[in-house]
Structures are given as C-alpha cells and as structure tokens.
Amino acid sequence: MAKDAKSTFSPLMQEHKDAAKAEGDKISAKIDEAFEKFAKKMRDRADKAKAKIEGTKKPEKRAVLLRRFELYADAANHIEERLAHRQD
C-alpha cells in the first residue's frame, strides 16, 4: 500500500517542485537584473569621478576624486564578479 500511496503523490510532488523551480528562476532573474543595474550605477559614478579628476588642479580635490573613483570602481567590479558567479 505504501508503494501505491507514493505513486499517487509523485505527480503532485513534481508539480510542487516545478512551481518552486519556476519561482526560483523568476526571483533569480530579478536579483540578477538588480545586480546589473547597481553595477552600472557604480560604474557610472566611477566614470564621473574620473572625468572630474582631469579638470581639477588642486591636489587635495584630486586626491578626494581619485579615492572616490577607486571606491566606486571597486564596488562595480565586486558586483560584476558576483553576478558572473551567479550566472554560472
């Protein structure tokens, strides 16, 4: 009887697994999209800081902008690396 009960529940269990997988894929896609958007935002801010460096003559201001560029670029790289691992 246990064998018959198991075979009765198998299609139902498979439906649950399929629904869970579909939901997981949907959420993963949303997360990946958010990672991409955030990485782009950090990359844009890094580029903006880098562009300002070239037009700045004061050493103090250049140092601040250079540090800002480094931090934003590092953040973008980190997010992009994490995204690459998620997509593997």
- The answer to whether 60 and 20 have CB atoms below 8 angstroms apart is no
pLDDT of residue 59: 96
Give how far Cα 5 sits from Cα of 10, 16, 18, 61, 70, Å.
9, 17, 20, 74, 61
pLDDT of residue 9: 62
d(CA 49, CA 65): 6
pLDDT at 1: 46
Per-residue pLDDT of the chain (88 residues; tens, 9 = 90+): 455 555 556 777 888 888 889 999 999 999 999 999 999 999 999 999 999 998 999 999 999 999 999 999 999 999 999 998 887 7
pLDDT of residue 32: 94
* Domain extent listing, the chain: 2-87
Question: CA neighbours within 13 Å on the CB side: how many for 80?
Answer: 11
Q: 0.85 cut: is pTM over it? A: no
